[in-house]
Amino acid sequence: MKQFNVPSGYRSTLISGIKNRRKEQDKLKKDFTPTLLNLGPLQIYLARHFGFCYGVENAIEIAFRTIDENPGKNIFLLSEMIHNPQVNADLQQRGVKFLQDTYGRQLIPFEDLTGNDVVIIPAFGTTLEIETLLKAKGIPTEKYDTTCPFVEKVWNRSEQIARKGYSIIVHGKPKHEETRATFSHASSHTPTVVVNDMEEAVELARYITGEKPAEAFYTAFEGRYSQGFSIEKDMERIGVVNQTTQLASDTQAISDYLKQVFIEKYELSPANISDRFADTRDTLCYATNDNQTAVTAMLETPADLAIIIGGYNSSNSSHLVELCESRLPAYFIDAADKLISRETILHRNWRTKEQLLVNGYLPQKEPLRILMTSGASCPDAVVESVIRQLASFYGVEDRIQP
């Protein structure tokens, strides 16, 4: 796989050494057991796969190269480059300005842009409407486009099934940058609707089957469907694609459920399912799949708690927390300073978005066993800093070997 040139401050000799050893031992990536850092009274089990993925490293490399190649120019980002506070803060420190926040709210009017300005498209991609607007101003969007290739893969898959006459259901968080971009690309080819979770998929099915009146759909799914969408005509043939950082099991469950709805409604047999339901295959990125599988395997290890490190807006990080907290106490942090002491942690509730001070999060026992992973946009250096902070509470920092 390509090696990217990202700032050295994001790298970690400790973590790189661990990852390289695991690659050598398991070149086919079939062993998903965690790596044990045995520090005596503290035992940390690192997930087999975690941290920066291909798309994130690609985006970071392009962004920092763009800054170096355009001295004196105004450089803008459409929104957060990735969902990591350190990377976004570093870019802002280098003079990059954000045009929108992560929810698409305008921070700097597009009217203020000129053809001499540089605009970087983040890893999540952007909508066709914004691309058109920027090109109309003479801004070459393709030159500084960091859209993840796995996001583009979903767009291509959507276009392929649209050409075959299917409408598209996008499984994604409606306000997420990537979902907004995928919705825009998909709906340019075919009628499209977004569902956030299984509950919404079940609700959508009630309109598809006629259990609920069609007119009520437009209120229930307001802002989630494409222009001119007809719940009665446009949901006769469908395919399901997803935001690439969703839980694989959730997308599969939604797809399987809707397929069954269509089998029953149209009395389909295995031979003619494709008449109504497209085989879109899984559109999750490899890193999301690997990280989720690694966490599932890690959870088989007896432990006292889990710590998940990642940006608080990071969808893939939140799903790792979701997986962990189903099995044991799990704490979501974005940096080592959230480990305030051996007694207190500042933890983020991924559901409510609240930050909570939790006391007594480290049980008084030795050895203490902690499961640890990080999201795809979290630098390895941050993971190492968390490990060192924990080690300092037990006076065993000197046992950490690169």
Burial of 3: CB neighbours in 10 Å, binned 0-12, 13-18, 19+: exposed
Task: Locate 312 and state its tokens.
Answer: 């608080």
Question: Backbone phi, then psi, for 370, in 5-degree steps?
Answer: -120, 130
SS3 state of residue 380: helix
Burial of 133: CB neighbours in 10 Å, binned 0-12, 13-18, 19+: middle
For residue 377, give the nearest of 330, 312, 332, 324 by alpha carbon.
Answer: 312
Task: Locate 350 and state its tokens.
Answer: 């991924």
SS3 state of residue 268: coil
Q: Is residue 241 within 8 Å of 166, Cβ to Cβ?
A: no
Q: Residue 344 forms beta bridges with which residues?
A: 359
Report the DSSP pairing between strands 368-374 and 305-309. parallel
For residue 301, give the nearest of 48, 52, 16, 51 by alpha carbon.
Answer: 48
The length of the chain is 402
Catalytic residue (one of 80, 177, 178, 200): 178
For every residue of 101-127, DSSP letters joined together read -TTS-BSS-GGG--TTSEEEB-TT---
Taking the CA atoms of the chain, what radius of gyration do you get in angstroms?
23
Question: Annotated catalytic, 69?
Answer: no
C-alpha 284/C-alpha 241 separation (Å) is: 9
Task: Locate 1 and state its tokens.
Answer: 């796989």
Q: Is residue 125 within 8 Å of 148, Cβ to Cβ?
A: yes
Catalytic annotation, residues: 178
